[in-house]
Amino acid sequence: IVIVIIAVVLGLTLRQNKSEFESTFLSRCEKFNQYDCKKLWGVFQQAYVDKDPCKVLVEAYNPLIAAAPFKPQCNKTMFWSKTKDVVHGFTDKRKDCFVTLEDTLLGSVLDGLTWCGKEGSKDTFTSGCPGWSECENNPVRSFWICASAAFADVACGDVTAMLNGSINTPFNPTSIFASVEVPRFNASRVKKLNVVMVIQKNNISNCNHSSLKNLTQALDTGITYSCKDVSESRIQECGAKPEIACGACW
Ligand code: AVW
């Protein structure tokens, strides 16, 4: 009996417990059905496990994106920069109108999470990982760049971007939107970019801001540009009232 108990206890300790991170990954993934989430977890881990957490290249996530590709959703793609809460507060309620990266399988699974590996270990760590700009090739940053690029690659028709009118530089060249997404909008797929400038009570910028000139210049020839100043309360109203047609939100 003693031997059996020892064997069971030893067995339980040696069996790698599913980490909280893995459980989060799988439970978020399973909400989407139609994907083999255990397989995706395996492909995801390959990108960063057993690696120096400052040496994970953007390309390391290509197999993951290939395993769960983004589907083109023409006229519904929503980009954003420094407006995360407003955008998701809106798109969470109006999935009929717009889809953000964070509403897709991979984006929603990894949204808000931190992860990294360590050389010589097959584990996933959630603390002690490099910060966003601590080193360029960190696992989290590389994932978001890779996913954002792939998401922008399939954008089509009229695309929308929510920018922040309460900051100095609504179109910031160092943002993912400016540095990764806009350069990949292809005129053969994307017809028009509609910027929604989110205006709060103490706004300091609007559609006339000089940084937007850089945006129009960065756009592929053939893509039309528009910008509209829209109050945050109007965006919230549209989120709260499904009877307002998507095209009439602003
Ligand atoms: P953002 P982006 N430290 O609001 O245009 C930690 O600046 O870049 O908008 N996390 C960071 C940092 C940082 N310094 N900078 C960026 N992030 C992460 C994907 C953080 O998770 C969508 F498709 C923050 O919430 C949008 O169109 C997120 O990046 C576009 O990229 C966005 O930062 C938004 O990227």
C-alpha of residue 144 to centroid of ligand 1, in Å:
8
- Which residues of the chain, if any, have pLDDT below 70? 1, 3-16
Express each pLDDT in 32-69 by its tens digit: 988 899 999 999 999 999 999 999 999 999 999 999 99
Q: Which atom of ligand 1 is nearest the CA belonging to 112? A: 21
Task: Determine whether the shortest distance from the Cβ of 85 to ligand 1 is under 6 A.
Answer: no
- Indicate the DSSP class of residue 157: E
Q: Indicate the burial class of 246 (C-beta count within 10 angstroms; 0-12, 13-18, 19 or more).
A: middle
Q: Label residues 165-189 b or e (16+ Cβ within 10 Å = b).
A: bbbebbbbeebbbbebbbebbeeeb
Q: Which atom of ligand 1 is nearest the CA belonging to 164? A: 4
Global confidence as pTM: 0.92
Spot the catalytic one: 37, 116, 146, 156.
156
Per-residue confidence (pLDDT) for residue 16, from 0 to 100: 61
C-alpha of residue 174 to centroid of ligand 1, in Å:
10
Three-state SS for 106?
helix
Nearest CA to ligand 1 atom 11: 132
Per-residue confidence (pLDDT) for residue 35, from 0 to 100: 85
